[in-house]
Amino acid sequence: MVSFAKKVKRELCITTDKIKSCCGYSLIYGMLFCASIKEEKLCLKVLNSDVGEFFTNLCQQLSVKNTFMYSYEKNRIKILPEFLRYNSLAEVKKNIFKCGKCKEYFLKGIFLTVGTVNDPEKSYRLELVFDDENKANEISFLLDDMGLCPMYTKRNDKSVLYFRRSEAIEDFFANIGATSLAFDIMNSKINKELINNANRVTNCDAANINKAIVASNKYNTVINYLIETEKIKRLPEHLQEMALKRVELKELSFAELGKQFSPPISKSGVHHRLEKILEFYNELED
């Protein structure tokens, strides 16, 4: 079964041919921002094949091959270190960001390579997991500037920026241009709230019904005893009438039972008369 995070990244990898050159380079630099140097090459582990293919297609689209040498094989993107002329966020912002959308594409690249998100049907959590604490701090400052304000934790030797509120995750996806994903999470939350509210109402109704059944059984047991022993005749006439109607119409609520009298009596009036019958029974027991 394909994970929710993989579905999200697959959707993010669907781009149009109209991406501007500056935004394309911003996206590439975002994807490579967290690469580590191995065997004198920048190496980025890509667990999602969609992301690796997306990277190579984007490089071909922007004719990046003319600028630097790269390869993608065995879920790893390898690049000659000379390509990353700008290895800090400040340098990237100064030399790569050319329009208002570049920051959005850069952050999208970050998520594609080090991001993961839980299925909102189960729980709300989006993470960016970094090997380098300095890189995590730089991205944290960037997110703060965008008003997203992630939380931070250490997990083993990893630095993790994360969001665990649905609103924050919606804002994150909106800020990387994935508005459809933001709406999907919003709709999921609305559906979950509707289901939870319906369950609460159902549980409340069930509890009230159980209470009513218990109360009804209590009165019916007493009334049946009084009828069988003929001690019901010792009750005042209006209480005898109440007792007989209660056992005859035991499926009715107090409010519905009160309407069977002429003139009708209130729900509290029904309850009061039944309590009087119960009080009479208790006196007999004493």
Question: 3-class secondary structure for the chain?
Answer: CCCHHHHHHHHHCCCCCCCCHHHHHHHHHHHHCCCEEECCEEEEECCCHHHHHHHHHHHHHCCHHHCCCEEEECCEEEECHHHCCCCCHHHHHHHCCCCCCHHHHHHHHHHHHHEEECCCCCCCCEEEEECCHHHHHHHHHHHHHCCCCCEEEEECCEEEEEECCHHHHHHHHHHCCCHHHHHHHHHHHHHHHHHHHHHHHHHHHHHHHHHHHHHHHHHHHHHHHHHHCCHHHHCCHHHHHHHHHHHHCCCCCHHHHHCCCCCCCCHHHHHHHHHHHHHHHHHHHC
For residues 277 and 286, is the Cβ–Cβ distance under 8 A? no
Percent of the chain whose predicted confidence (pLDDT) is above 90: 8
82: pLDDT strictly greater than 60: no
Q: How confident is the model at residue 168 (pLDDT cuts 50, 70, 90)?
A: confident
Token code pair at residue 196? 């939870």
The yes-or-no verdict on residue 28 having pLDDT over 60 is: yes
Look at residue 67 and tell me whether its pLDDT is greater than 60: no
User: Per-residue confidence at 106, pLDDT binned at 50, 70, 90?
Assistant: very high
- Which comes out higher in pLDDT, residue 230 or 216? 230
Better-scored residue on pLDDT, 208 or 119: 119
pLDDT classification of 97: cutoffs 50, 70, 90: confident
- Tell me the pLDDT tens digit for each residue of 240-253: 888 888 888 877 88
pTM of the shown model: 0.62
Per residue in 147-158, pLDDT tens? 888 999 998 888
Q: How far apart are CA 65 and CA 3, in angstroms?
A: 32
Tokens 């109440």: give the residue: 242
